[in-house]
Amino acid sequence: MKGLSDIMQTVSMMKWVVLVSVLTMASGYKHVVFMHGILAGPSEFDKFAQQIKIDHPGTNTTQINAFVDAYSLEPMWNQVEKIQIIFTQIMADNPDGIHLVCFSQGGLVCRGLMSLLQHNVDTFIGLSCPLAGQYGDTAYLKYLFPNYVKSNIYRYFYTDNGQKWSVANYWYDPHHQDEYHKFSTYLAILNNDTHNGQSQTFKENFSRLKKMVLVGGPDDGVITPWQSSHFGMYNGSEVVLPMQEQRWYKEDSFGLRTLYERKAITTFTYSGVQHIHWHSDMDVYKKSVEPFLT
């Protein structure tokens, strides 16, 4: 029969094994970075961030606290260039890689970061993001620009002054492509729709992604067309063409086809989810976020 000292030694060893196992498990989860949407702030992702710490103990998270509320209307490149300072430090502190979860306009901010930087993003999850642009009469458009509708706001958005608004930077009017190519200072550059001396660098950086998860749905009510969240967009007849039928996909202008052919892209479509609920819908989280954060 074992003595008391032997039993205590065994118990101590078991505790040590459990501790090591927990630490090993925790260290296996990559840092998760959240980027909020337009007219909002980091608290949008409170629910997901809290749940991740329960589901993946030991996971470090960062909710980007920059360009909140009205400041989110600043030009997109301004946002990217300043947020990259925060982002670069996070990457340096996590050399094994990070995950990026972005909502709405935040997805385009993240797209800019992943194009501009030699990033170490493992997985990018875009929750209802206008990744291929925006073209629609929505409550947001009416609130911000009450004197315009989608059919005529190009007259303002496609000007030097209009491009001082973030929304204008990714406005994609399928009926006025000449003006889009001439004035778009953000989306057209990311898509390589206009001459850009950094296009090859942007492509190489974007292609560094290991996985991309695209989430959207027909009842969103804001992202228009909603398929933009899957890199789909209207043609000149306002018929939505899927990602694979877009010029910049066919020509692999910024690396999207590279990711697709590598089988690195997963898409999810949810019915019944309104725009303001993507970042707090736990069904979306359980199916389209948590499984990809390993």
pLDDT, tens digit, 9 for 90 and up, residues 226-249: 999 999 999 999 999 999 999 999
Domain 29-132+198-292: CATH architecture, name and number where available: 3-Layer(aba) Sandwich (3.40)
pTM above 0.85, yes or no: yes
Answer yes or no: are the C-beta atoms of 63 and 31 closer than 8 Å.
no
Neighbours of 153 (CB within 10 A): 21
- Give the separation between CA 274 and CA 116, rounded to whole angstroms: 31
Q: pLDDT tens digit string along 259-292?
A: 999 999 999 999 999 999 999 999 999 999 999 9
Answer yes or no: are the C-beta atoms of 138 and 221 closer than 8 Å.
yes
Distances (CA, A) of 94 to 63, 101, 112, 122, 191: 16, 16, 20, 11, 29
Residue matched to tokens 């949810």: 270
Cα 180 from chain centroid? Answer: 23
Could you say which of 31, 220, 229, 230 is catalytic?
220
Mean local confidence (pLDDT), 165-193: 97
Residue 22 has pLDDT above 80, yes or no: no
Could you say which of 104, 128, 166, 253 is catalytic?
104
Q: pLDDT tens digit string along 49-104?
A: 999 999 999 999 999 999 999 999 999 999 999 999 999 999 999 999 999 999 99
Query: Which has the minimum average pLDDT: 7-11, 118-122, 124-128?
Result: 7-11
Cα 56 from chain centroid? Answer: 21
Residue 217 has pLDDT above 90, yes or no: yes
Question: Closest Cα partner for 97 from 114, 82, 109?
Answer: 114
Could you say which of 193, 275, 279, 288 is catalytic?
275
The domain spans of the chain are 29-132+198-292
For the chain, what percent of residues have pLDDT higher than 90?
A: 89
The reply to whether 128 belongs to the active site is no
β-partners of residue 214 are: 126, 267
**pLDDT number for residue 3:** 54
Element spanning 15, H or E: helix 4-27
The reply to whether 193 belongs to the active site is no
Q: Categorise residue 231: left if φ over 0, alpha if ψ from -120 to 50, beta otherwise.
A: left
Mean local confidence (pLDDT), 211-222: 98
The reply to whether 93 belongs to the active site is no
Residue 196 has pLDDT above 90, yes or no: no
Question: Closest Cα partner for 269 from 232, 218, 210?
Answer: 218
